[in-house]
Amino acid sequence: MPRTIVTKFLKLRDRTTLGQQVAVVTAILCLALALTVAATAAFVARQQATARAEAEIIGIASNMAERLDARMFERFREVRNLAELEPLRAVWDGDEATIRSILEQLQASLPEYAWIGFALPDGTVKAATGSMLEGVSVAERPWFMDGINGLTVKDVHDAKLLAELLGSQANGEPFRFVDVAVPVKNAAGATIGVLGAHMSWTWASVVRDTVLQTTDRALDTQIWVLRSDGTALLGPEYGSAPFGQSTIEAIAATGRLSFSDMAGAVDHLNAAVTTKGYLDYPGLGWTVVARRPLDLALAQANQLALAIVMIGIAFALAGAVIASLLARGLTRPLSELADGIDSIGRDPGATMIARDHSSRDVSQLTVAIRSLLRRLGVAETAQEAAQREAAASRQQLVERTERLGEDINALQILADTDPLTGLLNRRAFHVFGVDAMNYFKRHKRDVGVLVIDIDFFKRINDTYGHSVGDDVIRAVGGVVQAEARTIDKVARFGGEEFVVLMRETEKEGPAVLAERIRQTIAGKLVDHPEHGTIHVTVSIGAAMAVASDRDIEDVIERADRALYEAKATGRNRVVSGEAEPSQNRSAA
C-alpha cells in the first residue's frame, strides 16, 4: 500500500508543472499557518474568558461568605450586648413578665429570631418570647451547657423542644436554628442564668437572594452553603454530601477553590469560599459554593473562539487563492525559459546557437550559481555576526528599560503615598474616587465616603509637641486602615483628617464602619515613653453617593458637613449626611 501511494504521487508530480506544484504547496502552507494562528488566538481568548468567569463566580461566593459572617456577627453582638447591658442587670432577677417584654422587643426588631429565652443556672427557662418553654428544663441542650460557661455559637440544627410549638415553615420544611448563647451575670460577677437566641435558618435564603440580585446571571447561578464536614445546609437536600471528601479537604486547605464537576449530565463551574468569622465572632467554618453551568459560564468565550476560527478559515482560503496566483506568476518566466531552450534544441536552424551558445550559457549559469552560493555563504556569516551584535544590543536595552521601569514605579509610589502614615494622599485618592463614581453612575453600585477628624488635635500638639502629634496621626491612620475592608481606599488628606472610599457597600455600610472605627479609636490608648498614655477620640461624617452627585467631591462635601455637625454636637460621634433635594453645590 505505501509503495502504491508513492507511485501515484510520482505520477501526479510528473503530470503537473512546477508552477502548479509551488501553488499547491504554498496554498497548503498558508492554510495551515492561518488555522494555527486562529486556533492559538481562540485558545488564548477562551483561557482569558475562563479566568474571568472563574473570577466572577469566586466573587459571588466571597460576597455570600462575607454577608453570612457579617449577619452572624450582628446577631452575635446583639445577644451579647443585651446580656451585658448595665441597666438590665437588676431586670434578670425580676419578674418573668418584664424579662419577657424585653425579649419580645428584641424579637420584634428582627423576624429571624424564632425564639429568645432566659434560663436559670439549673436550666429552667424563666422567661421566653411567646411564653414558649417557660418552666421547661433546657439543661441538656448544647447551647445551654456551653452558654453557661461563656459566649457560644452553635451550628445549624433541627428544632427539638420547639418543633411541636412552632410547627412547620410556610414551605413545609421543619424549623432549623442557629443558636447564640451568653451567660448573664449580676453586679457581683456571679452567673445568674443564660440568655439564648434561636435564629431561623431561613435568613440565609434571604441573604442568598440578595447576593444573586447583584449578578446579571442570577437565573443561571446557584449558591450553596455547606458545613465544615461538607454536608449541605442550603441549596441541595439538607444533610446531603454533594462533593467528595477529597474536594472538601482541598477547599479546607486553601480556603478558596475553583473546580468543575458533573451533575445530571451537565458540567458545572464551581467556586468555593470558606467563612472566616468577623471581628470577635469566630465563625462556624461554613463553605459557600457558587455554581454555574460550564457551557453558560463560558458561552461568550466559546462564541468568541468560534468567531476567531471562522475568520481564520476565511483568511486562510483567501491567502491560499492569492498564494496560488502569485506562485503561477513567479514560475511563468522559468517555464518560458524552459520552452525557449527546448525550442532551440528542437529547431534545426538553431544548431549553431545550441552548439556555440547553449553550452556556454549553461556553463556561465553554473559558474554564476557557484559564485552566488559562495557570496550567500559570506553574506550569511556576516549576517549571523550582525544578528549576534543586535541581540547583545537588545539585551542591554531591555536591562536599561527594566531599571527605568523600576525607578518610575518607585517614584509613582512616592507620589501617591502620604509620607507620615503610608496611606494614600489626596491626589492618589482622587483617581480612585473618580473611577468609583463613574462605576456608580454606569452600574448603580453604591459608593460611600467617610471623613474622619481627630478631636482636639491642636491641644495634643500644644501639650505634648508635634512629634507626639505625628505618633497619634500614625496610630489613628493604622486603626482606620485595619478596620476598613480590603476593597476600601483610605487616604490622609492632610493634618489630622482622613477619608475612606467604600465601594460595593450597602446603604448602612458607611455608618456601620464609621461606628466601628470610632469605638476602636475611643478604646485605644496611645502609649508614649515620655508622656504615658494619651486618650484620643475622633468625629466622623458619613455619606452615600446619590444620582444627583456630579462627582466624588460632592459626596466628600456632604460627608464633611456631617463631620462638622458631629463636632458641633459634642465630638466623638458619627453623623450621616443626607443629600438635600435642591442644595447649591460647590467644590468640597
The answer for residues whose C-beta is within 8 angstroms of residue 583's C-beta and 6 or more apart is none
Ramachandran angles phi, psi of 145, nearest 5°: -60, -40
Nearest by Cα to 317 from 41, 43, 42, 33: 33
496 tagged catalytic: yes
Q: Match 468565550 to its residue by C-alpha cell.
A: 301
- Dist CA 519 CA 534 (whole Å): 16
Query: Between β-strands 574-577 and 538-544, what pairing exists: parallel, antiparallel or unpaired?
Result: parallel
Distances (CA, A) of 241 to 214, 231, 235, 416: 28, 5, 11, 49
Long-range contacts of 41-46 (CB under 8 A, 24+ apart): 41/308, 41/312, 42/304, 42/305, 42/306, 42/308, 42/309, 42/312, 43/305, 45/301, 45/304, 45/305, 45/308, 46/298, 46/301, 46/302, 46/304, 46/305
Residue 19 has a CB neighbour count (10 Å cut-off) of 17
- Dist CA 59 CA 65 (whole Å): 10
- 128 by DSSP, 3-state: which? strand
- Dist CA 431 CA 455 (whole Å): 28
Query: 224 has which bridge partners?
Result: 289
- Stated as kind and residue range, the H or E segment containing 117 is strand 113-119
DSSP class of 86: G
Do the Cβ atoms of 176 and 105 come closer than 8 Å? Answer: no
Rg (CA), the chain: 39
Which residue type, as a one-letter code, is found at position 184?
V
Residue 389 has a CB neighbour count (10 Å cut-off) of 10
Q: Match 550559481 to its residue by C-alpha cell.
A: 369
Report how far apart the first and last C-alpha atoms of the chain are (Å, whole number).
Answer: 87
The single residue of 496, 506, 553, 578 carrying the catalytic annotation is 496
Helix, strand, coil percentages (3-state) for the chain, rounded to 5, are 55, 20, 25
Active site residues: 496
